[in-house]
Structures are given as structure tokens and as C-alpha cells.
């Protein structure tokens, strides 16, 4: 590793262009480090050129901007959909799924550039510090980590926004003139999160203008919109919408379109209180537009084509574990490696198409079919046609199932 004479080391900082990480960048330089800035394009609305210019202006020796959108969709988002994974039954893991690709790219650049350290701007109370640092240590055990918001010298010097603003003025760090929102956000192409500020009171209703991605369901179009999603081995491979002549098959384009159609129909909002990995309860509001549609469609097609016992095993042993691993930042771990290899094995027969209706925030399934899977037999399921099912067979099935229940019931009669 090449370190400039007199420098404490070379640091690759995960940089956002905002006040916090800009101050961290300059503070690290003040501490004697050479600082390189790294930004990940995971689909957030960001002026990357302006952020690059700002980082160089305040002292970064190099700036790296990596487009990770396709990696995020193909390697993290789609497997999460295949697993039907959520955290605590409702959170679609929007922040969590982006962290592995961001951390992996940061580590790769740090190693290529001969960095001795990596750094981030995560708070000392949140999940992201855990997610990033566990990934760093798994991927590059010898890299050292600088977490300013856990360093007393830093957080005591900057107890709030005003202290950061004063430091920015002192050091000539450009500060956006946009008024600060009374909450914080994190955005990628899968979702956006809102927390802190006024949202820390769990009984405060989020203001209407907080929601950035989706139209208010009450203001969404009065006419439903219908789309069709086709799955192959559990992966979305085609989306069509006759109303606007859409027909897409590229994974990234397909997902971005689902975001678009969900947003205009007010789909994907939730407001929850969750349990952070470090033990603190946190209130969060989330918009996951395209992901909400995909998950609903995927669950539905599985009902048609997936074997009952395979589905039950996956739902009990894979889905909750996958969600917990992603939420806790353990994607790069032995158990993470195991569980991600198991998911595709459950999806071999998940082939078919689902017709979806979007209307004022709701996602309704209105039909499904498969050209290749035949677990569903209309004649066998019909109440009007006997087909090849012999009703008398049910008598023996019921008798076998009742053996233990009769034994259980006898004890009440004997008493």
C-alpha cells in the first residue's frame, strides 16, 4: 500500500455529497489522512457531477462514482423477491439490499488504490454502520475502518447540525441552500426511507409532502391500470402493459418501469416501528413501489406452480432467515452464502404469468397462468366435474388423520 510521507494513511470515504460526509472528508484530512471519495449510483436521484466537483474542492485526492444499479437489481433485489423476504413481516428490506453491492465496490476500489482505511458517515445508533462494517471485515479483513460518529472527539465536537454548519463555514465547504427537511432519507432504485426528526414520535402522521416517490393514493388515477408480469425460475423476465404499449424484458429496464407504474398509482407506502439489529426500536416510513408489485405477483404465481412441501419448507426455513441475514448485514457470511445458494433451488418450477391491477395504492391479482407447469388441474379441482379423483379415497385419508385425534379426545371422555 502506498501512503504519502507524513500521512496517517489513505482513506476511501463513502461520500454522499451532503453536509455530514463533506465535513467528515475535511475532518479526516485535518487528522492527517489522504482522503479519496467514493459514491455508489444505486438509483438515487443525485447530481453526481456536482458531488464530484464538491469532493475535489474540499480536498479529496480522487473521486470514484460507480454505477451499481444493474448489480443491485440482478444480484440482490431479484433474489430477495424470489425468497419473498421481508423483515418483521412488513419491511421489504429496501435499504438493506443495497448495502452489499455498495460495500463490495468500496472495498474493491480501496484495495486497488492501496488504501489503508475505509470510512463511512453512518450514525452510531443505526443498522447501516453494522451492515457496512461487517461487509468490510468479511471482504477485506486487513482494512481498517474509521467510523467518525463513534469517535468521541468527533461526535462531541459536532453534537448537531449547527456545529457542522459552523465547521463548513470555517473550512469553506459549500453548503446547499435548500432548507433542511425535518427527517432524514436514504434512497436507491428499490425504495426510499424516511426516519428521524419529527418521525421519531411514532404517533406523528407523516406530512403529505414527505412522500417523494409515489402519488398520494387518494390522488391516484380513478381508472385502474393493468399489467402482466412473467416469471421464469422465479425471476421476472417480462412486463407488458397494453395501455402504454410497454413490453420489457431487460431486468433493469423492467424494474425501473415497475417503479414508474407503481409510483403513478400510489403503490408501495408503509409506516412502521421496527427493531434495529443493535436493539433499539425505530420508526420508519418507506416507499417501495416496484418491489411491492413484484413481491405480490411472485407470491401469487408460486401458489399456482410451486409444490406444497417445497413452499412450506422455504417459507419456514429460508424466507425468514434470508430476511434476517439481509437486515442484519450478514450477506457476506457463511450463512449468507448458504442461504443465497438455497433460494434458486426452490424456484426451478416458478414459471408463469400474473395479471395485476393497480388502483389507488392497491395491488390486486386478477389472473395467472403457466404454459409449462401442471400442478393445477382444473378438472381435479372442480366441484362440478369428478375427473380422475375418487371421492371415496378421502374416507381413508380422513380415518388415518383422525387416529391421533381420537386418542386425544378419549381423555376428555374418560374424565
Question: Which residue among 20, 263, 368, 370 is the active-site one?
Answer: 20
Catalytic-residue membership of 300: no
- Considering only CA atoms, which of 49, 73, 48, 52 is closest in space to residue 61? 52
Are residues 34 and 61 in contact, defined by beta-carbon separation less than 8 angstroms?
A: yes
Helical pair 334-342 and 319-328, crossing angle rounded to 10 deg: 140
Is 128 a residue of the active site? Answer: yes
Which ranges in 265-333 belong to alpha helices (H)?
289-305, 308-313, 319-328
CA 234 to chain centre: 18
Distance (Å, whole) CA 344 – CA 223: 37
CA angle 83/84/89 to nearest 5° reads: 130
Residues 6+ apart with CB under 8 A from 85: 93, 319, 322, 323, 326
Catalytic residue among 22, 128, 295, 314: 128
Task: Single out the residue of 356, 350, 354 nearest to residue 375, CA to CA.
Answer: 350
List the catalytic residue out of 52, 69, 99, 283. 99
Give the separation between CA 288 and CA 326, rounded to whole angstroms: 16
Cα–Cα distance between 389 and 383 in angstroms, integer? Answer: 11
Active site residue 245: no
Grid cell locating 146? 474509521
Set of cell numbers at residue 145: 475502518
Kind and range of the H or E element at 130? Answer: helix 128-139
Active-site residue flag, 184: yes
Question: Which distant-in-sequence residues (6+ apart) come within 8 Å of 82 by Cβ?
Answer: 234, 235, 298, 343, 344, 346, 347, 350
How far apart are alpha carbons 288 and 92 in whole angstroms? 7
- Of 101, 98, 141, 115, residue with least CA distance to 10: 115
Opening angle at CA 115, ends 113 and 116, nearest 5: 160
Angle, CA of 318, 253 and 84, to the nearest 5°? 15
Choosing from 7, 184, 333, 362, which is the catalytic residue? Answer: 184
Q: The dihedral of CA 218, 223, 229, 234: what is its sign? A: positive
Residues with catalytic function: 20, 99, 128, 184
Amino acid at each position: 500500500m502506498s501512503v504519502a510521507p507524513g500521512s496517517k494513511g489513505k482513506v476511501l470515504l463513502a461520500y454522499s455529497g451532503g453536509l455530514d460526509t463533506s465535513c467528515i472528508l475535511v475532518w479526516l484530512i485535518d487528522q492527517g489522512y489522504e482522503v479519496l471519495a467514493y459514491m455508489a449510483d444505486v438509483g438515487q436521484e443525485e447530481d453526481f457531477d456536482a458531488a464530484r466537483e464538491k469532493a475535489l474542492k474540499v480536498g479529496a485526492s480522487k473521486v470514484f462514482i460507480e454505477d451499481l444499479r444493474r448489480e443491485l437489481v440482478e444480484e440482490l433485489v431479484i433474489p430477495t423477491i424470489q425468497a419473498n423476504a421481508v423483515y418483521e413481516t412488513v419491511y421489504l428490506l429496501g435499504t438493506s439490499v443495497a448495502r452489499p453491492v455498495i460495500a463490495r465496490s468500496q472495498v474493491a476500489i480501496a484495495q486497488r488504490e492501496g488504501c489503508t482505511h475505509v470510512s463511512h458517515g453512518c450514525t452510531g445508533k443505526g443498522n447501516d454502520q453494522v451492515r457496512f462494517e461487517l461487509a468490510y471485515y468479511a471482504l477485506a479483513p486487513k482494512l481498517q475502518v474509521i467510523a467518525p460518529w463513534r469517535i468521541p472527539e468527533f461526535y462531541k465536537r459536532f453534537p448537531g447540525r449547527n456545529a457542522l454548519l459552523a465547521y463548513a463555514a470555517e473550512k469553506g465547504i459549500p453548503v446547499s441552500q435548500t432548507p433542511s427537511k425535518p427527517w432524514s432519507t436514504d434512497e436507491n432504485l428499490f425504495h426510499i426511507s424516511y426516519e428521524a426528526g419529527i418521525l421519531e414520535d411514532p404517533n406523528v402522521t407523516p406530512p403529505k409532502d414527505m412522500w417523494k416517490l409515489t402519488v398520494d393514493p387518494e390522488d391516484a388515477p380513478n381508472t385502474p391500470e393493468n399489467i402482466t408480469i412473467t416469471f421464469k425460475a422465479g425471476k421476472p423476465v417480462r412486463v407488458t402493459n397494453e395501455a402504454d404499449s410497454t413490453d420489457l424484458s431487460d431486468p433493469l429496464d423492467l424494474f425501473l418501469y415497475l417503479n414508474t407504474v407503481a409510483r403513478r398509482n400510489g403503490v408501495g407506502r408503509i409506516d412502521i416501528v421496527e427493531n434495529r439489529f443493535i436493539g433499539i426500536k425505530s420508526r420508519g416510513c418507506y416507499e417501495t413501489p416496484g418491489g411491492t408489485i413484484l413481491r405480490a405477483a411472485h407470491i401469487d404465481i408460486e401458489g399456482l406452480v410451486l409444490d406444497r412441501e417445497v413452499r412450506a419448507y422455504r417459507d419456514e426455513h429460508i424466507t425468514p432467515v434470508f430476511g434476517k441475514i439481509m437486515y442484519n448485514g450478514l450477506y457476506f457470511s457463511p450463512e449468507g452464502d448458504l442461504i443465497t445458494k438455497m433460494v434458486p433451488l426452490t424456484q426451478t418450477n416458478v414459471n408463469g404469468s400474473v395479471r395485476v391491477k393497480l388502483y389507488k395504492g392497491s395491488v390486486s391479482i386478477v389472473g395467472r397462468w403457466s404454459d409449462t407447469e401442471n400442478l393445477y388441474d382444473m378438472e381435479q379441482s372442480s366441484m362440478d366435474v369428478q375427473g380422475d379423483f375418487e371421492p371415496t379415497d378421502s374416507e381413508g385419508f380422513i380415518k388415518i388423520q383422525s387416529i391421533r385425534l381420537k386418542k386425544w379426545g378419549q381423555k376428555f371422555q374418560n374424565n
